[in-house]
């Protein structure tokens, strides 16, 4: 089964269908057209808010925000190449220093030391 994402046009059509059904229900009850439209919109709520909820429900907002922030950062760094070079150099030095220190601490502190066997250093006296 393949799921297809609904388009903005389909969501607008669905909202309009809900409004039309409510308007028709109110007309059957004997309410005039203009009053039925007004009451249907009032019962449905804010149409723009419904469209926004639909938009947010079908997107991963974290990735959307991340991509916009990344594009903005790249544009800002492109405007000032000296600052970009300094930022990249600082990051490179920080990552390199962190790697070197962790490697040294890992070797000294976390890895078991290898000691020769206690019996291998004794001389046998016979």
Whether 126 shows a pLDDT value over 60: the answer reads: no
Q: Which tokens is 14 given?
A: 């669905």
Question: Which stretch, 8-12, 98-102, 114-118, has highest mean pLDDT?
Answer: 98-102
- Neighbour count for residue 40 (Cβ, 10 Å): 20
Percent of the chain at pLDDT > 70 equals 86
How far is the C-alpha of 11 from the C-alpha of 56, rounded, in Å? 12
How far is the C-alpha of 21 from the C-alpha of 31, rounded, in Å? 14
Q: Whole-model pTM?
A: 0.39
- Neighbour count for residue 6 (Cβ, 10 Å): 13
Q: Which tokens is 83 given?
A: 């600052």
Percent of the chain at pLDDT > 90 equals 29
- Which residue in this structure is represented by tokens 């007004």? 38
CA angle 40, 44, 50 (to 5 degrees): 140
How far is the C-alpha of 22 from the C-alpha of 120, rounded, in Å? 93
Q: What is the pLDDT of residues 89-101, one digit of tens each?
A: 999 999 999 999 9
Query: Environment class of residue 23 by beta-carbon count within 10 Å: exposed (0-12), middle (13-18) or buried (19+)?
Result: buried
Q: What is the pLDDT of residues 18-56, one digit of tens each?
A: 889 989 999 999 989 899 889 888 888 888 888 787 777
């Amino acid at each position: 089964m393949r799921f297809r994402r609904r388009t903005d046009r389909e969501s607008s059509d669905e909202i309009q269908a809900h409004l039309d059904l409510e308007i028709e229900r109110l007309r059957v009850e004997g309410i005039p057209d203009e009053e039925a439209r007004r009451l249907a919109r009032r019962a449905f709520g804010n149409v723009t808010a419904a469209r926004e909820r639909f938009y947010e429900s079908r997107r991963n907002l974290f990735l959307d925000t991340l991509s916009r922030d990344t594009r903005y950062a790249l544009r800002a760094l492109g405007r000032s190449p000296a600052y970009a070079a300094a930022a990249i150099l600082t990051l490179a030095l920080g990552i390199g220093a962190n790697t070197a220190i962790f490697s040294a601490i890992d070797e000294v502190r976390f890895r078991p030391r290898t000691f020769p066997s206690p019996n291998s250093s004794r001389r046998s006296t016979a």
